[in-house]
Amino acid sequence: MESIPTWRPQRQNLFDGLVDRGLLPEERLRFILAQDGAPPELTLMQAGIPKHEILRCLTEFYRLPFVEFSENQLPPDDLTAGLDLERLKQRLWFPLSVAGAGADVLLCNPMDGTLDEEIKQTLGVADLKKHCILASDLVRLIQHLQDANPGYPASAGRTRLAQTRNALTRLRTNLAFHRTSLAKGRTGLAMMRTGLSFNAIALAMLQVFGFGYAAIPDSLLLLGGLALAVEGLRWYLPTRKTAREAPAYKPSEPTFGSTFLEMSGQGEKLAFTRKGPVEGAEALRTGWNRLSPVMKRRFLAIDRTDHAEERTILASYRTSMARARTGLAFMRTGIALIGVGMALLRQFPLSQWAVFNMIFILLGSAMALEGFHWYIPGRRAGNEGLRLIRKAHQNQSIWDFMFTLFRDQLSAGELPAALFIKDSHSPGIWGTTGLALERSLIAERRNVKARFRTTLARSRTGMAFIRTGTKIFSVGLGLLVYFGSGNTLWLICYAAMMAAGLICIADGFYWHVPAERIKALFPYCSADMEILFPDYSKPTSSWKKVVFSHHEL
């Protein structure tokens, strides 16, 4: 928690009025003033002294009017625009207004003459009209101006959080660009596989039938295959380059408002760090019904930022899985080349085409290794994404959190304080908070859909594993069936390919089946469409569903 600067009077009779009015024994007061740490007014209030009695001591001692913190007590923006608010918190003063050569200021120690000179120089005035204020109230006033809840730094203000969410949105857009590029790369690989298949057929025909009139269509097929392979390679190579440049987002662990996400850096060097936990924030959030509307909106802004971070993490996982699928497509292309090369090499071991057959095998091996290199980080991202989704399903929603606290209220003292509505509050401070809550609920819905998309991506990646395993297994099995098991070395090679294929198929089902099970929990997967009908007087678990049959749409 951000510490409140402590100022203690040199003369210890500031709070003697509490003793005179019989509110506190003198020995207890001296003990409190001798303590280090929290400002004495906070310790006095914890001891049961009403705040208005402490403020009365201030005005009696300094012979100045006091000012108490209020959320609607904000100075003009042009007055504070050039001020270092963090320094004002440390020096414990704040300007209320500046007119001509004079200024109204709040001070925790109006007797500090050196501070007077600093204030005059900072504001460019000659005269000061002083008001006394408690240190805790002054810090809260500056935090309110920074749009941050008590104990939170300025980087947890709503404006900074909104900037963080905008940066996360740009990052997700960048990740979406990379996924689109990877899809183009996979399309190029499909073209390359088609072209290489044409080449393999043409070379096999030339080796079987030799040159002659039949070589003309074989040559055309070979040229067409080369053209397709080159075109596919032209699509793939830019994807390979950009895929390595895709930003990786380091996940953090949100804690429902007691920590917050802080953005630092500029341009492409942005960094996101989870700060906290803030001391006292959990107790502040638990007392939701006692918070002012502004404080509630600040917590909701932190929640929306946490939701934006989760969507970014999931987008990063989906991008890694898209890279893995692209790598698997490259691996399947390489396996096909290896199979063709091995078959031609065994069928025509002493042919003049043996060099080309070996090139097929070497090229296919390089492509398979390249694809496997992309597969490893994608597999890790898929497992981490599944863990995040399962954990997110166990979390309580914002609305259920609020409803539970209100429903399980045991003490009348925990009920919301009376809210005095004035005409100046139009269109309604509660209405603004309600809109903030609505935006937070919509952000939760977007996160549910992001988890659903990540689940579908994991399922697709699992199917890509199965396709790749089937390709490896079928190539090994085909070669074994056609050439038999007479050669021990070749037999070991075929068996290894079949075993690798079975492992890949099993891994694919390991990914696909849990994803299908999770997918069944979402209402977007059936032929009928289900829409939750929100009723904000009840928890979300009690909301009814409206079902539209696909026959009625």
Predicted confidence at residue 408, as pLDDT, reads: 54
Confidence at 11, pLDDT banded by 50, 70, 90: very low
For residue 283, what are the contacts with CB-CB under 8 A and spacing of at least 6? Answer: none
Confidence at 537, pLDDT banded by 50, 70, 90: low
| Integer angstrom CA distances of residue 174 from 142, 246, 296, 315, 459 | 37, 8, 32, 10, 23
Confidence at 248, pLDDT banded by 50, 70, 90: confident
What's the CA gap between 210 and 224, in Å, rounded? 19
What's the CA gap between 332 and 325, in Å, rounded? 10
Q: Which two tokens stand for residue 176?
A: 């979406």
422 pLDDT above the threshold of 60: no
Global confidence as pTM: 0.72
Q: Which of 192-206, 310-324, 338-352 reaches the highest mean pLDDT?
A: 310-324
Q: Give the CATH fold of the 16-145 domain.
A: GMP Synthetase; Chain A, domain 3 (3.30.300)
204 pLDDT above the threshold of 90: no
130 pLDDT above the threshold of 70: yes
546 pLDDT above the threshold of 90: no
Percent helix / strand / coil, the chain, rounded to 5: 65, 5, 25
User: What residues does CATH 3.30.300.160 cover in the chain?
Assistant: 16-145
Q: Count CB neighbours of 250 within 10 A.
A: 10
Lowest mean pLDDT among 352-356, 456-460, 507-511: 352-356
Residue 6 or residue 371, greater confidence = 371
Predicted confidence at residue 495, as pLDDT, reads: 93
Q: Which of 14-18, 231-235, 302-306, 341-345 reaches the highest mean pLDDT?
A: 302-306
- Mean pLDDT across 509-528: 70
Confidence at 423, pLDDT banded by 50, 70, 90: low
* Cβ contact 14:63 at 8 Å: no
- Mean pLDDT across 436-458: 87
Lowest mean pLDDT among 140-154, 215-229, 290-304, 528-542: 528-542
pLDDT in tens, 286-335: 888 778 788 888 899 999 999 999 999 999 999 989 988 888 888 888 88
10 pLDDT above the threshold of 50: no
Residue 502, burial from CB neighbour count under 10 angstroms (0-12, 13-18, 19+): middle
| Integer angstrom CA distances of residue 288 from 281, 379, 402, 530 | 11, 41, 7, 32
The secondary element (H helix, E strand) that includes residue 269 is none
Residue whose tokens read 């993490």: 313
Predicted confidence at residue 490, as pLDDT, reads: 87
Predicted confidence at residue 303, as pLDDT, reads: 92
Sign of the four-CA dihedral 440, 445, 449, 455: positive
Strands 127-132 and 102-107: parallel
